[in-house]
């Protein structure tokens, strides 16, 4: 079948969205389609032609969502400036937003053109595919459709549309928008979000408090998973934080190679606000903003501001618990405790600047990598300490990927398509990232970090 839409978001206050139409495209071409996601959604890939996927053959009227957000610390009223939701697809009792990205202007576009470049949409397709297979909750990309128009960003490229799938696109920033613009709607909107994402909470006595608690927990789990694989989101504004703990908006994102908590690849993050090591404190900061947005509920329900503050005060301990559980698994420690040993190993990573991904593979399989840092006395001493309490291979293989999207390989694949129209390198990456926890070839280029000079100069861009 094609999409089975039942869009409940349209039942909310009209101030929360605008009815829109995708731009006209004469000859859309499917560059890539995710057959596995088609199956998960109960879709017949053979019936999903380019015109349907590009929003040219509409099943119902699309909408663009309004929201707000703290962008690099400054509050701004926003909205879908180059995206629109075709509808909410229902399959096997589950509901999914089907969104077009790069589909033209909306009432929230401002000075933007509503378009997207083919390289940025292929990048998101690749990263969301990798994150899904790295077992991290994420938006998913159903397809990339190339258009005939030319889009100017840092260079002129063909335009493209990404078909993005999420449980929903409701963000921290959506709550900020409701609180700031339509505060009388906040109880109804919050009830809608709870019904859609956390229906188990409807039996709780303190439903709104438990809702904030659940959002905080899902967000902690998401960010700890980022730290597990070395992922740097790059733009953790509150409008890019999912209320459901889904990673999304793969703009200036990248993966850390050599361990450095100050690693930043985003060209616009001049002060390292969203550096690898800052993702934890920024999550706490973002949750504080969400709690502020929920404050009006304190006068309209039994929720109190003291209860919200008390929940926030649990953040550090809960993040620590999730983080140390994750790190013990990466080190193969099949017991509680050993916090000091985990801290000692992370301190070695800081001082050695070793490749983050390959370090844990080297612990599991000594002699895998010809890197001087792995034959030092300090590394051997730590390995011996870990041998006594950890290095459980089964735990390590579940927690430590063999492959990540190495930044330089991603750029090579994207450049190949832009320069030659050839997708072979991109398809090669997708094949490897289909099963990133299984080594196909230990000497493979896909496991090799780039030269350090590459990382020192590498920059990623939003491309909006």
Give the pLDDT confidence of 299-345 residue by residue, as tens digits. 767 777 899 999 999 999 999 999 999 999 999 999 999 999 999 99
Give SS3 for 166: strand
Active-site residues, by number, are: 239
Sketch the domain layout of the chain as residue ranges. Answer: 8-166
Confidence of residue 442 (pLDDT cuts 50, 70, 90): low
Cβ-Cβ contacts under 8 Å for 269 (sequence gap 6 or more): 72, 234, 235, 252, 275
What CA–CA distance (Å, rounded) separates 76 from 307?
27
- Where residue 77 falls (left for φ over 0; alpha for ψ -120 to 50; beta otherwise) is beta
- Asked if 180 and 66 touch (Cβ cutoff 8 Å), the reply is no
Give SS3 for 187: helix
Give the pLDDT confidence of 196-207 residue by residue, as tens digits. 999 999 877 789
Beta-bridged to residue 77, according to DSSP, are: 68
Give the pLDDT confidence of 125-156 residue by residue, as tens digits. 999 999 999 999 999 999 999 998 988 888 89
What sign does the dihedral 182-282-315-134 (CA atoms) show?
A: positive
Name the residue with higher pLDDT: 112 or 204: 112
Name the residue with higher pLDDT: 351 or 306: 351
Structure tokens that stand for 90 in this block: 């229902």
Structure tokens that stand for 9 in this block: 């978001």
CA-nearest of 123, 32, 195 to 407 is 123
pLDDT of the residue at 305: 83
pLDDT of the residue at 127: 98
Beta-bridged to residue 91, according to DSSP, are: 94
How much is the pTM?
A: 0.97
pLDDT of the residue at 1: 65
What sign does the dihedral 373-378-384-389 (CA atoms) show?
A: negative
Give the pLDDT confidence of 31-84 residue by residue, as tens digits. 999 999 999 999 998 899 999 999 999 999 999 999 999 999 999 999 999 999
Give the pLDDT confidence of 215-256 residue by residue, as tens digits. 999 999 999 999 999 999 999 999 999 999 999 999 999 999
Give the pLDDT confidence of 354-390 residue by residue, as tens digits. 999 999 999 999 999 999 999 999 999 999 999 999 9
What's the whole-number average pLDDT of the chain?
95
What CA–CA distance (Å, rounded) separates 310 from 295?
14
């Amino acid at each position: 079948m094609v999409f089975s839409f039942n869009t409940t978001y349209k039942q909310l206050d009209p101030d929360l969205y605008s009815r829109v139409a995708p731009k006209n495209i004469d000859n859309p071409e499917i560059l890539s389609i995710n057959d596995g996601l088609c199956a998960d959604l109960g879709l017949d890939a053979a019936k999903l032609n380019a015109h349907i996927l590009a929003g040219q053959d509409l099943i119902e009227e699309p909408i663009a969502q309004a929201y707000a957000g703290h962008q690099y610390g400054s509050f701004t009223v926003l909205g879908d400036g180059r995206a629109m939701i075709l509808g909410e697809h229902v399959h096997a009792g589950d509901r999914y937003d089907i969104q077009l990205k790069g589909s033209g202007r909306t009432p929230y576009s401002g000075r933007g053109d509503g378009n997207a470049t083919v390289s940025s949409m292929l990048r998101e397709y690749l990263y969301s595919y990798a994150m899904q297979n790295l077992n991290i909750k994420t938006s998913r990309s159903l397809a990339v459709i190339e258009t005939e128009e030319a889009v100017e960003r840092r260079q002129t490229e063909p335009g493209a549309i990404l078909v993005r799938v999420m449980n929903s696109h409701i963000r921290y920033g959506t709550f900020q928008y409701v609180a700031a613009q339509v505060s009388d709607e906040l109880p109804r909107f919050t009830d809608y979000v709870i019904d859609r994402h956390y229906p188990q909470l409807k039996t709780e006595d303190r439903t709104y408090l438990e809702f904030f608690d659940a959002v905080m927990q899902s967000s902690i789990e998401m960010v700890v998973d980022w730290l597990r694989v070395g992922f740097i989101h790059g733009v953790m504004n509150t409008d890019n934080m999912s209320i459901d703990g889904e990673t999304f908006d793969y703009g200036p994102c990248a993966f850390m190679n050599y361990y450095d908590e100050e690693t930043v690849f985003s060209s616009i993050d001049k002060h390292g606000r969203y550096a690898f090591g800052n993702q934890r404190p920024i999550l706490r900061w973002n949750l504080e903003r969400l709690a502020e947005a929920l404050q009006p509920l304190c006068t309209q329900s039994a929720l109190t501001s003291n209860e919200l503050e008390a929940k926030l005060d649990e953040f550090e301990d809960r993040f620590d618990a999730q983080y140390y559980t994750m790190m013990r698994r990466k080190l193969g420690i099949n017991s509680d405790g050993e916090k000091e040993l985990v801290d000692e190993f992370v301190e070695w990573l800081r001082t050695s600047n070793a490749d983050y991904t390959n370090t844990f593979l080297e612990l599991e399989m000594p002699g895998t990598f010809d890197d001087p840092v792995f034959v030092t006395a300090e590394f051997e001493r730590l390995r011996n300490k870990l041998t006594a309490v950890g290095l459980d291979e089964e735990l390590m293989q579940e927690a430590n990927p063999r492959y990540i999207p190495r930044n330089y390989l991603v750029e090579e694949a994207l450049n190949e398509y832009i320069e030659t129209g050839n997708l072979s390198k991109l398809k090669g990456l997708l094949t490897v990232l289909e099963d990133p926890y299984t080594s196909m070839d230990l000497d493979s280029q896909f496991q090799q970090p780039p030269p350090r000079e590459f990382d020192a100069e590498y920059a990623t861009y939003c491309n909006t």
